[in-house]
Each structure stands twice: as structure tokens, then as C-alpha cells.
Amino acid sequence: MMRKILAIIIGVATAFAIGAAIGWIDDQFYPLTFDIDIADEAAYAGVIANKTMPDKLLWVAPWLLSSFGGAWLALRISDWKWAGWTISALTLLVALLGLSYPQPLWMQACAVVLPILGGWLAARLHHKPYPGEPLLG
């Protein structure tokens, strides 16, 4: 039981770290050069509409990569399928909370599809460690 809880905690921390790293990379390559009031939906929608496609892809990439990385690590630690799906569900929740800001329809679809896809890929790539195999080897 403790291993499952630890796997979920480490998986969430990993998913957060992956998302933060991609967000940092996005800020380095595509910094916001002007200040806007996030409460002004029209101004925010204009900023999103004017982003380049690579910037938009860096915006949605954490939904897939965080879900995959966190879920895979949680599965590797616990070998319990629900640990991975818990990480994917939490990533989905965070992605859906981000939809409170105006975004193009394809980005809204990515917010739903990519966390689920990341969890599914993690489950497909995970294999049960054989006896004596290092946990993260």
C-alpha cells in the first residue's frame, strides 16, 4: 500500500517537473513581450491566436509528456495500473482547468486527448520488473 502511495506522489512530482521544464523552455523561446490583463478574455484570446504553431505545440506538449512520464514512473515503482491512470487523470484535470482561458478548438481537444494518450502509452510501454531487476534500471 505504501509503495502505491509513494508511486503516485513521485509520479505527480515527475509530471509537475516535466510540465514546468517544458513551460520554462517555452518561455525561453517564445517570451511574452507585452503585459496583458488575463481577466480580459478578448486580449488573451488575441495573444493565443497570434502565437506561432511551435509555440502552441509547446503549450500542449506538457499534457502528453507529463502524463506519460509521471504515469510511466508511477507504474514502474508500483506495478499497479491505477497509479498510472491516477497521474493521467490529474494531468487531465490540470489541462481542463487551463481551458478556462480562450483557446482554439484543436487545443481544447488536445487538453482532453493528450493526457489520456499519455497514460495509455505509459501503460503499453510499462513492463513488470522481473525478480532482481533494479527498480529504475
The string of DSSP letters for 26-79 reads: HHHHS---S---TT-HHHHHHHHHTS-HHHHHHHHHHHHHHHHHHHHHHHHHH-
What are the tens digits of pLDDT across the range 19-47? 999 999 998 998 876 677 767 777 777 88
Q: What is the pLDDT of residues 40-63, one digit of tens each?
A: 777 777 888 888 899 999 989 999
pLDDT of residue 134: 65
Helices 2-29 and 81-97 meet at what angle, rounded to 10?
40
Task: Please enumerate in sequence order all residues whose Cβ is within 8 A of that of 75, keeping only pairs 6 or more positions apart, or say none.
Answer: 7, 81, 83, 84, 122, 123, 126
Q: Is 6 helix (H, G, I), strand (E, B) or coil?
A: helix
- What confidence score (pLDDT) does residue 132 get? 65
Q: Which three cell numbers stand for residue 121?
A: 502509452
Which cell is 85 given? 491512470
Q: Which H or E run includes 132?
A: none
pLDDT at residue 127, rounded to an integer = 79
- Helix, strand, coil percentages (3-state) for the chain, rounded to 5, are 75, 0, 25
pTM as predicted? 0.86
**pLDDT digit string, tens, across residues 89-109:** 999 999 999 888 788 999 999
